[in-house]
Amino acid sequence: MKKNTDSFNRIFIIYLMLSIIFLFLNNNYKMNIGRFYINSILYPVQKAFVVFDEYINYRRENIELKKELVELKKNIYDNYEILEENKRLKKLLEFKNQHSEIFKKWDYIVARVIGYNPNLEYNSIMIDKGSNSGIKKNMPVISKDGLVGKVFSVGPFSSIVLLITDRNYEVSIKLQKSRVYSIMRWMEGNIFELMDISLIDEIKEDDIVLTSGQSDIFPANLPVGKIMKLEESDKYNRRRKVLIRSFVDFNKLEDVIIIKKENEIFD
């Protein structure tokens, strides 16, 4: 044990002395050159780690940049949507100002189209306003361009609007210049046909079609469309085929106005 302790102390003293010598050789030029060369041995390994580290960092940065790009693209699309919404709402406002007589008489609600049901039993759309917003069945629905349809069914937070493009829907209209009253029925796309127009009726090309006001649902003078085509259909029948193009593009409906006109007869 004593021998072991002696060797331990001896080793300690030798190492201690060497350490002190190293400390004194701190500013020795040859010593520093030696350190430099030993350091150089590790340089390739260190370099490899740095390159690997850089690669990892670039990958991380790349992922971050991709995320940022997606975020920015989303922002651009969002801004575009806001811009488009702004344009639509402006047009709605213009429409409201143009038809101030209707909007003075009845209150109205602006709603967003949240779904299309063109292939279902009824040709309809779903809007984001329901009975909680004061919507009731058979209230007329218009867009910035013209007549859209009527409220068909009402839920608390949403409603279904039956479009005038539904095959069973008929709308009572009048021609603005010709002063002819008739019934309009959907044909295809946004084309409608006027029913029972005789050859005696003087119909002018490009005449504007408005709601007649004779129905209990739609108020008078809501814009519907424009005469598109006049055909001498049947000389014996003495009837004329009149086609109307609706002002509304039913495939691009986004915002609609529900006129709070109550129709208790149909409720």
> Which chain residues interact with another protein by CB under 8 A?
4, 7-8, 11-12, 15-16, 18-26, 31-32, 35, 38-39, 42, 45-46, 49
Looking at the chain, how many residues does it have?
267
Give the nearest distance from C-beta 2 to another protein in angstroms: 14
Give the nearest distance from C-beta 45 to another protein in angstroms: 7
C-beta of 8 vs 80, nearer to another protein: 8
- In 3D space, the residue among 165, 166, 148 whose CA is nearest the CA of residue 253 turns out to be 148
C-beta of 12 vs 77, nearer to another protein: 12
Give the nearest distance from C-beta 42 to another protein in angstroms: 7
C-beta of 45 vs 120, nearer to another protein: 45
Q: Which residue has the tokens 């790009």?
A: 69
C-beta of 18 vs 93, nearer to another protein: 18
C-beta of 11 vs 89, nearer to another protein: 11
